[in-house]
């Protein structure tokens, strides 16, 4: 552009340049035009904020990805914050539209949501088999009873493996588990430990990968996490069968869906806020989500959870439609 | 080295041992860190480009068609028999040494995971030799011309893409109005005033520009019909850049060449912009990139031909592109098994996905670029402002002097505060109190600006302090006011130092994750942010999320590709800073 550089000999060219500029501008204005504010696409637009369980994260992001591909005006963002972290920090203060959870919402969280006037509806996303893993080198163990599992993880837990079962080696137990913001932690307490509390003598993390790394690093380590990680890396770790009284059952998509794998098969949830369902693009996404929960390829194949049955899906869809109706009144 | 102590007591002997031990210890310390970093980068590169699956034939093909011609170019430019001998010796000797050593280790010690001796040779010998020869070659005239041209091609493309990215969040329509009503009249007034020596016209330029911008903002709400994006970009960006190119060449005295240097790239860019749609590339982006590449290239080519020295160097891009094409042809023709890199065109243009093959980093790249652009502006303005005030205006003695020292101590302490704390500040202040929203681009850039502010202030202060006082006194003696001295003497002199400090700080900001986690930035988004107030993801956030995916392909390939992308952008930023600094230093 014209600068402070000053040379009189260039006067003519500069004038020419300015007129050329003007000419180009006029031509440009006369040329193709657009009108501002045209939406385009199928009319759905807006943003959807999702936080919550890192267990549900892979499922939710797989579904969101497909939805985003079909609706390019809808921007979706997802953060794995843990079920509890998502409820208390984001969802119940009205910052997110959905919160994923790997256990039902808890009374304290219900209160917090109510205080801020956030209403929600509970949708079942899929079924998970909470998996207990040990090091693949550990050939001295292939299953645990529910009671044995509890002695390992209860608040006043045993120190060495031979205290769990006599034939186990006299070696210290190395524990890797979910952090207390995680729904997996809450569910594990509810299903196995109940009043006995969760030990604090363990490596707590929100990341399955860290648990897997820890367990594969020591022959006497034990850990638990959602089924998806084990499903994708079956050779890296060894999953233990769980004996709830009818003999040991190993975790798999079949045993989880048939209900044999008790008490560790659990439903996964997502909680849309009613207020957000009032927006058409959020409601549409929620419908799409419920439709996809029976998609075998996606839920089981890509992610590693048990898809919902047609029956559950119909129930969920009814609940959702009621909520949407209520929101859009 | 150890000292030889020959004092009055005669020629007593002093042990050299301590000195030698110290020397080797410091050597060890420097090598340990660098080797560790080197190993990390080698493995990340192997993962990102899937080199572990590269067949030896594939490596050999590209070595012969791409690397060898490049080395020959550098050697030709260096034109030094010693260098040539040394390079050939290193390449040949290195080949034997690496192959022998590698085989020996594999045979007797342990398997080296995911590395073959060919790859080891590539990283341990070929890469350093290439870097060395590129350095030596760039000192010859031919090499300097070649690298200069490559720099303009690559840098121009990067600049064009960055500008295109910024227009994703900044409304091009406002920019169009502001440019037409504010910038153009102001520049025209200024040019007229400067030419006719009319100081009033020059003085009016800035107010006219400001009024124009305000009118533009108001009009944006009223006017509903605009030229298409392509025309807006051509008129507001391509035309001025072409005029700038035209002027630079015209200053060198050749009118026909000047018109060609400005006009040809402009024409190519406009044509490219119209045609790009057919290839699935957005037209406006193609237009900007073609102009930012074309004009500097044309200007540079003209200069090289004009000076007539080392014109052969202009063939370097042809050599490289030709080499890559021939390599691809050979690979295709003979069916050489080729690796399938994770870091490819799809990776940087696609959205994240739950399948590793389709996963892309595009929204996170855009998020990072936008944030870093805002952080650069904010921290530069705030940092330079603060440091100029502290260094030039605050007195050094008296009550105010002790206040200065207090401020100084606090700034130094702020630099040591953990980034999570800044995240909390951002969450409380920007996201909640000021209502910029949780996890929005504005909140993130304000938080990160605060985070690096102490570093920018301290480095800018150092730069300003290193301006010799003689210069200030000289300026004072000429009757200059303090403002004139600061503007004309201190800042230009300190500019290279300020720039270096700012860019280093920006490098820290682009890799930060903890503050972003605190302000609730999303880890995964599926579309690029379209305004400053939309939620975004940044590269480190997305990389962190992928690192915890169950599938092994994510944890190795996709994450590695993300790391390499982040590094490339970082190196690009630092490279720009070094270039600007060198230029400013030469200017002084």
**A61 in a structural domain:** yes
Percent of chain B residues topping a pLDDT of 90: 33
Cα–Cα dist B78/B432, whole Å? 60
Interface contact flag, A72 B247, Cβ < 8 Å: no
pLDDT digits (tens, 9 = 90+) for A284-305: 999 999 999 998 888 888 888 8
B362-388 and B539-546 helices, crossing angle to 10°: 140
Q: Nearest Cβ partner of A47 from B235, B251, B535? A: B535
Interface contact flag, A233 B552, Cβ < 8 Å: yes
Yes or no: say if A172 and A144 are a contact pair by the CB < 8 Å rule.
Answer: no
Q: Nearest Cβ partner of B545 from A47, A80, A95? A: A80
B141-169 and B283-307 helices, crossing angle to 10°: 160
Task: Examine the domain organization and report whether A122 and A136 are in the same domain.
Answer: no
pLDDT at A32: 61
Contact list, A239 vs chain B (CB under 8 Å): none
For A117, other C-beta atoms within 10 Å of its C-beta total: 9
User: Which band of pLDDT confidence, cut at 50, 70 and 90, is reported for residue A23?
Assistant: low
B141-169 and B127-139 helices, crossing angle to 10°: 110
**A300 in a structural domain:** yes
Interface contact flag, B228 A32, Cβ < 8 Å: yes
Contact list, A229 vs chain B (CB under 8 Å): 550
User: Which band of pLDDT confidence, cut at 50, 70 and 90, is reported for residue A18?
Assistant: low
Interface contacts A/B by beta carbons within 8 Å: 152
Domain total in chain A: 2
Closest CA–CA distance from residue B448 to any residue of chain A (Å): 20
Contact list, A95 vs chain B (CB under 8 Å): 438, 520
DSSP3 helix / strand / coil % (chain B, rounded to 5): 80, 0, 20
Task: Examine the domain organization and report whether A250 and A286 are in the same domain.
Answer: no
Cα–Cα dist A203/A136, whole Å? 19
Q: Tell me the two tokens of residue A216.
A: 């594969």
Contacts of B134 (CB under 8 A, 6+ apart): B70, B74, B143, B147
Q: Nearest Cβ partner of B195 from A11, A17, A49? A: A11
User: Which band of pLDDT confidence, cut at 50, 70 and 90, is reported for residue A41?
Assistant: low
Closest residue in A to B518 (Cα) is A89
Yes or no: say if A202 and A177 are a contact pair by the CB < 8 Å rule.
Answer: yes
Task: Examine the domain organization and report whether A161 and A258 are in the same domain.
Answer: yes
Interface contact flag, A54 B548, Cβ < 8 Å: yes
Residue-range definition of the domain harbouring residue A202: 131-263
- Nearest alpha carbon to residue B171 among A27, A33, A36: A36
**A21 in a structural domain:** no
| Residue B99 contacts A where some CB pair is shorter than 8 Å | no
Instruction: Please give the sequence-ordered ranges of beta strands (E in DSSP) within chain A, or none if there are none.
Output: 33-35, 46-52, 74-80, 98-101, 123-129, 131-134, 143-145, 174-178, 203-205, 221-225, 238-239, 241-243, 248-249, 265-272
Interface contact flag, B529 A77, Cβ < 8 Å: no
Question: What's the whole-number mean pLDDT along residues B490-503?
Answer: 88
Closest CA–CA distance from residue A148 to any residue of chain B (Å): 28
pLDDT at A5: 46
Cα–Cα dist A122/A269, whole Å? 7
pLDDT digits (tens, 9 = 90+) for B219-267: 888 888 888 888 888 888 888 899 888 888 888 777 888 888 888 888 8
Cα–Cα dist A108/A105, whole Å? 9
DSSP one-letter string for B519-586: TT--SEESS---STTSB---HHHHHHHHTT-SSHHIIIIIHHHHHHHHHHHHHHHHHHHHHHHHHHHH
From the candidates A11, A34, A210, which should be mutated to test the interface with B, based on the most B CB atoms within 10 A? A34
From the candidates B255, B270, B527, B555, which should be mutated to test the interface with A, based on the most A CB atoms within 10 A? B527
Q: Nearest Cβ partner of B227 from A31, A64, A80? A: A31
Helices (H) and strands (E) in chain B, counts: 27, 2
Percent of chain B residues topping a pLDDT of 70: 98
Question: What's the whole-number mean pLDDT along residues B434-442?
Answer: 88
Domain finish residue from A246, A263, A280: A263
Residue A7: left if φ>0, alpha if ψ -120 to 50, beta else—which one?
Answer: beta
Yes or no: say if A244 and A262 are a contact pair by the CB < 8 Å rule.
Answer: yes
From the candidates B362, B520, B537, which should be mutated to test the interface with A, based on the most A CB atoms within 10 A? B520
Question: What's the whole-number mean pLDDT along residues B546-567?
Answer: 88
**A177 in a structural domain:** yes
Q: Tell me the two tokens of residue B1.
A: 């080295």
User: Which band of pLDDT confidence, cut at 50, 70 and 90, is reported for residue B587?
Assistant: low
Q: Nearest Cβ partner of A14 from B195, B353, B552? A: B195
Interface contact flag, A24 B235, Cβ < 8 Å: yes
Question: What's the whole-number mean pLDDT along residues A75-95?
Answer: 89
Rounded alpha-carbon distances, angstroms, from residue B290 to A130, A306, B249: 54, 51, 19
Rounded alpha-carbon distances, angstroms, from residue B179 to A194, B184, B392: 68, 6, 35
Closest residue in A to B221 (Cα) is A36
pLDDT at A208: 83
Contacts of B163 (CB under 8 A, 6+ apart): B237, B288, B292
- CATH code (residue A248): 3.40.190.10
Is the pLDDT reported for residue A182 higher than 80? yes
pLDDT digits (tens, 9 = 90+) for B82-92: 999 999 999 99
Give just the sign of the alpha carbon dihedral B476, B477, B480, B486: negative
Question: What's the whole-number mean pLDDT along residues B76-104?
Answer: 91
Interface contact flag, A61 B524, Cβ < 8 Å: yes
Closest CA–CA distance from residue B3 to any residue of chain A (Å): 50
More confident residue, B11 or B433: B433
Domain finish residue from A236, A263, A290: A263
Give just the sign of the alpha carbon dihedral B398, B400, B404, B409: positive
Closest residue in A to B356 (Cα) is A302
- Nearest alpha carbon to residue B533 among B440, B410, B408, B471: B440
Task: Examine the domain organization and report whether A181 and A119 are in the same domain.
Answer: no
Cα–Cα dist A98/A121, whole Å? 10
Interface contact flag, A61 B223, Cβ < 8 Å: no
User: Which band of pLDDT confidence, cut at 50, 70 and 90, is reported for residue B2?
Assistant: very low
pLDDT at B344: 87
Yes or no: say if B53 and B39 are a contact pair by the CB < 8 Å rule.
Answer: no
**A6 in a structural domain:** no
Closest CA–CA distance from residue A77 to any residue of chain B (Å): 4
Task: Examine the domain organization and report whether A182 and A111 are in the same domain.
Answer: no
- Nearest alpha carbon to residue B145 among B314, B9, B366, B298: B314
Q: Tell me the two tokens of residue B22.
A: 């110290």
DSSP A273: B
Closest residue in B to A27 (Cα) is B231
What ranges do the domains of chain B cover?
Answer: 144-339, 356-587
User: Which band of pLDDT confidence, cut at 50, 70 and 90, is reported for residue B10?
Assistant: low
Of chain B residues 236-275, which have a CB less than 8 A from chain A?
A: 239-240, 243-244, 246-247, 250-251, 255
Domain finish residue from A263, A286, A316: A263
Interface contact flag, B187 A302, Cβ < 8 Å: no
Contact list, B234 vs chain A (CB under 8 Å): 28
Task: Examine the domain organization and report whether A286 and A212 are in the same domain.
Answer: no
DSSP B440: B
User: Which band of pLDDT confidence, cut at 50, 70 and 90, is reported for residue A3?
Assistant: very low
Give just the sign of the alpha carbon dihedral B235, B238, B239, B240: positive
Residue B559 has φ and ψ, to the nearest 5°, of: -65, -45
**A29 in a structural domain:** no
Contacts of B460 (CB under 8 A, 6+ apart): B383, B384, B386, B387, B388, B494, B497, B498, B501, B502
Interface contact flag, A24 B354, Cβ < 8 Å: no
Buried b (16+ CB within 10 A) or exposed e, A206-226: bbbbbbbebbbebbbbbbbbb
pLDDT at A16: 62
Closest residue in B to A20 (Cα) is B239
Contact list, B189 vs chain A (CB under 8 Å): none
| Residue B400 contacts A where some CB pair is shorter than 8 Å | no
More confident residue, B21 or B551: B21
pLDDT at B336: 84
**A11 in a structural domain:** no
Rounded alpha-carbon distances, angstroms, from residue A167 to A142, A157, B323: 12, 18, 66
From the candidates A4, A44, A60, A65, which should be mutated to test the interface with B, based on the most B CB atoms within 10 A? A65
Closest residue in B to A228 (Cα) is B550
Q: Nearest Cβ partner of A232 from B537, B545, B551? A: B551
- Nearest alpha carbon to residue B224 among B173, B183, B292: B173
Per DSSP, the three-state class of B281 is coil
pLDDT at B9: 58
Is the pLDDT reported for residue A115 higher than 80? yes
CATH fold of the domain at B356-587 = MetI-like fold (1.10.3720)
3-class secondary structure per residue, B110-152: CCCCCCCHHHHHHHHHHHHHHHHHHHHHHHCHHHHHHHHHHHH
- Nearest alpha carbon to residue A268 among A318, A305, A312, A319: A305
Is the pLDDT reported for residue A221 higher than 80? yes
pLDDT at A1: 41
Contacts of B418 (CB under 8 A, 6+ apart): B514
pLDDT digits (tens, 9 = 90+) for B110-167: 888 778 888 889 998 999 999 999 999 988 888 889 998 998 999 899 889 888 888 8
Contact list, B555 vs chain A (CB under 8 Å): 209
For chain B, the C-alpha Rg in angstroms (whole number) is 28
Q: Nearest Cβ partner of B243 from A1, A228, A233? A: A1
Is the pLDDT reported for residue A13 higher than 80? no
Yes or no: say if B500 and B455 are a contact pair by the CB < 8 Å rule.
Answer: no
Closest residue in B to A4 (Cα) is B194
Contact list, A47 vs chain B (CB under 8 Å): 534-535
Contacts of B307 (CB under 8 A, 6+ apart): none
Highest mean pLDDT out of A227-231, B181-185, B444-448: B444-448
Give, for B246, the enclosing helix (H) or strand (E).
helix B239-251
Yes or no: say if B487 and B459 are a contact pair by the CB < 8 Å rule.
Answer: no
Closest residue in B to A230 (Cα) is B550
Yes or no: say if A197 and A221 are a contact pair by the CB < 8 Å rule.
Answer: no
Interface contact flag, B354 A80, Cβ < 8 Å: no
- Nearest alpha carbon to residue A91 among A58, A122, A118: A118
């Amino acid at each position: 552009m014209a600068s402070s550089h000053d040379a009189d000999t260039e006067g003519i060219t500069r004038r020419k340049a300015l007129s050329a500029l003007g000419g180009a501008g006029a031509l440009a204005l006369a040329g193709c035009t657009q009108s501002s504010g045209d939406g385009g696409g199928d009319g759905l637009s807006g943003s959807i904020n999702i936080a919550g369980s890192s267990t549900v994260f892979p499922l939710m992001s797989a579904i969101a990805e497909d939805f985003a591909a079909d609706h390019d005006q809808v921007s979706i963002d997802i953060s794995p914050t843990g079920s509890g972290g998502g409820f208390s920090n984001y969802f119940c203060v009205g910052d997110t539209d959905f919160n994923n959870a790997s256990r039902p919402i808890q009374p304290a969280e219900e209160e917090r949501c109510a205080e801020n006037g956030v209403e929600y509806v509970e949708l079942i996303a899929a079924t998970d088999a909470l998996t207990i893993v040990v090091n693949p080198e550990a050939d001295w163990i292939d299953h645990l009873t529910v009671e044995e599992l509890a002695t390992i993880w209860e608040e006043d837990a045993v120190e060495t493996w031979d205290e769990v079962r006599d034939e186990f080696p006299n070696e210290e137990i190395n524990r890797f588990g979910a952090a207390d913001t995680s729904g997996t932690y809450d569910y594990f307490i509810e299903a196995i430990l109940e009043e006995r509390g969760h030990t604090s003598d363990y490596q707590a993390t929100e990341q399955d990968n860290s648990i897997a790394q820890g367990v594969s690093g020591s022959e006497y380590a034990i850990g638990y996490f959602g089924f998806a990680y084990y499903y994708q890396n079956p050779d890296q770790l060894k999953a233990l069968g769980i004996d709830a009284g009818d003999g040991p059952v190993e975790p798999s998509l079949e045993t989880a869906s048939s209900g044999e794998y008790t008490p560790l098969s659990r439903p996964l949830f997502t909680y849309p806020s009613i207020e957000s369902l009032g927006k058409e693009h959020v409601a549409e996404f929620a419908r799409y989500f419920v439709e996809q929960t029976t998609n075998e390829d996606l839920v089981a194949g890509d992610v590693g959870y048990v898809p919902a049955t047609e029956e559950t899906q119909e129930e969920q869809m009814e609940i959702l439609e009621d909520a949407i109706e209520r929101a859009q009144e | 080295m150890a000292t030889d102590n020959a004092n009055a007591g005669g020629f007593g002997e002093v042990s050299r041992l301590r000195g030698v031990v110290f020397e080797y210890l410091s050597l060890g310390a420097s090598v340990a860190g660098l080797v560790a970093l080197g190993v990390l980068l080698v493995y990340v590169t192997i993962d990102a480009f899937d080199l572990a699956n590269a067949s030896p034939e594939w490596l050999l093909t590209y070595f012969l068609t791409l690397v060898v011609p490049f080395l020959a170019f550098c050697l030709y430019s260096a034109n030094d028999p010693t260098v040539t001998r040394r390079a050939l010796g290193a390449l040949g000797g290195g080949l034997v040494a690496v192959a022998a050593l590698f085989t020996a280790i594999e045979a007797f010690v342990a398997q080296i995971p995911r590395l073959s001796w060919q790859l080891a040779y590539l990283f341990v010998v070929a890469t350093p030799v290439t870097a060395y020869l590129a350095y030596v070659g760039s000192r010859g005239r031919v090499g300097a011309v070649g690298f200069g041209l490559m720099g303009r091609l690559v840098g121009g493309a990067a600049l064009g893409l960055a500008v295109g990215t910024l227009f994703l969040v900044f409304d091009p329509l406002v920019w169009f109005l502001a440019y037409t009503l504010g910038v153009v009249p102001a520049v025209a007034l200024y040019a007229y005033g400067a030419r006719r020596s009319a100081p009033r016209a020059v003085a009016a330029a800035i107010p006219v520009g400001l009024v124009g911008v305000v009118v533009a903002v108001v009009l944006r709400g009223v006017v509903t019909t605009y030229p298409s994006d392509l025309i807006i970009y051509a008129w507001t960006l391509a035309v001025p850049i072409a005029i700038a190119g035209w002027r630079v060449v015209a200053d060198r005295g050749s009118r026909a060449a000047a018109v060609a240097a400005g006009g040809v790239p402009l024409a190519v860019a406009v044509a490219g912009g119209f045609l790009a749609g057919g290839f699935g590339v957005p037209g406006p982006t193609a237009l900007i990139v073609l102009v930012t590449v074309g004009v500097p290239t044309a200007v540079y080519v003209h200069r090289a031909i004009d000076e007539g020295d080392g014109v052969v160097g202009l063939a370097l891009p042809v050599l490289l592109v030709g080499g890559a094409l021939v390599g691809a042809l050979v690979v295709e023709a003979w069916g050489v098994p080729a690796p399938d890199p994770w870091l490819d065109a799809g990776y940087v243009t696609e959205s994240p996905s739950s399948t590793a093959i389709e996963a892309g980093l595009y929204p996170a790249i855009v998020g990072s670029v936008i944030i870093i652009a805002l952080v650069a502006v904010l921290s530069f303005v705030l940092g330079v402002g603060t440091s100029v005030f502290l260094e030039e205006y605050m007195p050094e003695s008296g009550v105010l002097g002790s206040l200065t020292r207090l401020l100084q101590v606090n700034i130094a302490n702020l630099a040591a505060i953990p980034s999570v704390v800044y995240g909390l500040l951002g969450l409380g202040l920007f996201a909640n109190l000021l209502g910029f929203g949780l996890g929005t681009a504005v909140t993130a850039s304000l938080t990160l600006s605060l985070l690096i502010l102490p570093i920018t202030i301290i480095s800018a202060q150092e730069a300003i302090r290193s301006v010799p006082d003689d210069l200030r006194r000289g300026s004072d003696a000429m009757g200059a006011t303090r403002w004139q001295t600061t503007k004309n003497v201190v800042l230009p002199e300190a500019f290279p130092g300020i720039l270096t400090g700012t860019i280093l700080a920006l490098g820290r900001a682009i890799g930060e994750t903890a503050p972003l986690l605190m302000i609730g930035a999303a880890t995964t988004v599926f579309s690029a942010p379209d305004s400053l107030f939309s939620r975004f993801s940044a590269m480190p956030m997305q990389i962190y999320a992928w690192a915890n995916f169950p599938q092994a392909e994510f944890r190795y390939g996709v994450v590695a590709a993300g790391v390499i992308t982040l590094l490339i952008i970082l190196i690009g930023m630092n490279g720009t800073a070094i270039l600007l600094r060198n230029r400013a230093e030469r200017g002084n």
